[in-house]
Structure 1
Amino acid sequence: MTSRRRVASIILSALAGISVVGAPTVAAAHPHIFVDAKFEAVAAADGSLAELRDTWRFDEVFSSSVLLDYDKNGNNTLDAAELAAVAKTVRESLGQYNYYTNVTINGKAVTLAKPDVLHGAYENGSLVLSFTQKPAGKTPLKGLIVFGVYDPTLYTALDFADDADLKTSGDGFNRCSRKVVRPDSKEILAENQAMLTTMFFNDPMGTDYSQIVATRLEVRC
């Protein structure tokens, strides 16, 4: 593998949460991958959660690195088989992070099933991945439901450019109110300076910082 192809492999591995030699060790303070994200929660007519839909469009720098590593036929794009290989790698590896998708109902985490498949596309120089997750069991929408899509390691920055990029659909949500919450990270940092030690940033999996600063969709039914 050439040095450039190895770099691409390391980046994709970092996205997938795989520990590899050469991967950055201090991810919390410096995201390395940037994603324009869209999220949709779908409710069934009986008022239960039916499924969650995520779409991620990766930045051009990361996308070009993936292209270097997965463009096996050298035609400067990702064909169907190559996209399937990328999606398969991410599907198999991101499970430990629940595909960055988190749901709580009245403070209790909802268990989500692994997506059957991730769909890939390569559009205007950007890698796009989309997938659907379903609750592992019947999940009535009662009380405060919080939907969050974020990387707990803070290596990947998932950005929802507009509030409309976090949405609900389905008759089961008709009786619910909704709001998008965008925490002010500067205020949070100022209020928690005593906690922000080197150990805090080097051990993001042991803290709630990523969850605290993440944009989220709150629904009350």
Structure 2
Amino acid sequence: MPLLIAMLSLLPGPVLAHPHIFIDAKFEVVAASDGSISELRNVWSFDQVFSSSVVVDFDKAGNPTLTPSELKAVGKTVRDSLAQYGYYTNVTSNGKAVAMAKPDAIQADFKDGSLILTFSLKPEQKTFLKGNTIFGIYDKTLYTAVDFATDNDMTVSGANMARCKRKVIRPNPKEVMAENQAALTSMFFSDPKGTDYSLLVATRLEVQC
């Protein structure tokens, strides 16, 4: 099993309380002319430690970089392995979860020592930006930390988006822990598939239309 799959895969238990992979992300909600979600655009830049491990795992030519064919293999591996985790993309429309279809492809690149993945997701069913829609890009297992450096890294675009209000929510982890102290122990130790804590502390984009 390639190292990339192993490191991105779901691992059991409280070991996952501390992230081991770090992503600097950019996220864009693109609206169609009818007010539905056209696509969700993602750009992920991985930390150099993890990126170097991917080079070791996929470099078949014996050089310290990845060829176009090797990068294509990285993209295919991530596309297949992260499907069961929803590509760390969690969307709700008025409190109801919105399922995402598998992306057509994931484009991989390697720049300045970092692996960069670019891909777009589309809802499995047409979903309108009506009422309250929340977009969260996070790993429920807490093994991978997804960070948005500024609020401008979570954006909206497309027709009629001027009618909507955009808000980036950045919970304070210390406040979250203080408010949920009684429940956190059971969250970490009783749910091997991830915890509610990841949702509580995740940076997310709220769009109200």
Question: After TM superposition, is the score higher than 0.5?
Answer: yes
2:180 alignment partner in structure 1: 192
User: What amino acid does structure 1 have at the position aligned with 2:38?
Assistant: A
Summarize deviations over 1:178-218 as a string: whole Å, max 9, x none: 11000011111111111222x53243535311111100000
Partners of 1:204 and 1:210 within 8 A in 2: no
Pairing 1:61–2:49 present = yes
The code of the aligned residue for 2:176 comes to I
1:128–1:67 Cα change, 3 Å:
same
Query: Is 1:201 matched with 2:194?
Result: no
Indicate conservation of the 8 Å contact 2:51/2:114, yes or no.
Answer: yes
Gaps of 5+ in 1: 1-5
Q: Are residue 14 (structure 1) and residue 2 (structure 2) matched?
A: no
Identity of aligned residues (%): 60
User: Which residue identity lines up with residue 136 of structure 1 in the other structure?
Assistant: E
2:92 paired residue among 101, 104, 128: 104
Structure 1 position 27, deviation (Å) = 3.8
For each residue in 1:123-148, what CA deviation from the matched residue of structure 2 results, as whole angstroms up to 9, or x when unmatched?
A: 01100011111111221111001011
1:141 aligned residue: 129
Number of residues paired by the alignment? Answer: 208
Give the TM-score normalised by structure 1: 0.89
Residues 128 and 82 (structure 1), Cα distance of their counterparts in 2 relative to 1, 3 Å cut: same
Are residue 181 (structure 1) and residue 169 (structure 2) matched? Answer: yes
Q: Say if 1:50 and 1:39 are closer, same or farther in 2 by CA, change over 3 A.
A: same
**2:14 alignment partner in structure 1:** 26
Describe the superposition over 1:101-156 as per-residue Cα deviations: whole angstroms up to 9, x where unpaired: 11111001112111010000000110001111111122111100101100011100
* 8 A contact 1:120–1:128 mirrored in 2: yes
Instruction: Please identify runs of 4+ aligned residues in structure 1 that moved more than 6 A.
Output: none
1:13–1:32: structure 2 CA closer, same or farther, 3 Å change rule? same
Instruction: Determine the C-alpha separation between the residues in 2 that align with 1:27 and 1:171.
Output: 44
Q: Following the alignment from structure 1 to structure 2, what is the Cα–Cα distance between the partners of residues 147 and 13?
A: 26
Runs of 5+ consecutive residues of structure 2 not aligned to the other structure? none
Paired with 1:75 and 1:154, the residues of 2 have a C-alpha distance of: 32
Aligned partners of 1:38 and 1:168: how far apart in 2?
11
How big is each residue's C-alpha offset from its partner over 1:12-49, in whole Å with a ceiling of 9 and x where there is no partner? Answer: 4221x256xxxx85343210000000100000111111
> Is residue 57–residue 128 contact of structure 1 (8 Å, CA) maintained in 2?
yes
Question: Counterpart of 2:208?
Answer: 220
The code of the aligned residue for 1:200 comes to M
One-letter amino acid of the counterpart of residue 14, structure 1 = M
Change (3 A) 1:25 1:84: farther
- Does residue 117 (structure 1) correspond to residue 100 (structure 2)? The answer is no
Aligned CA-pair RMSD = 1.7
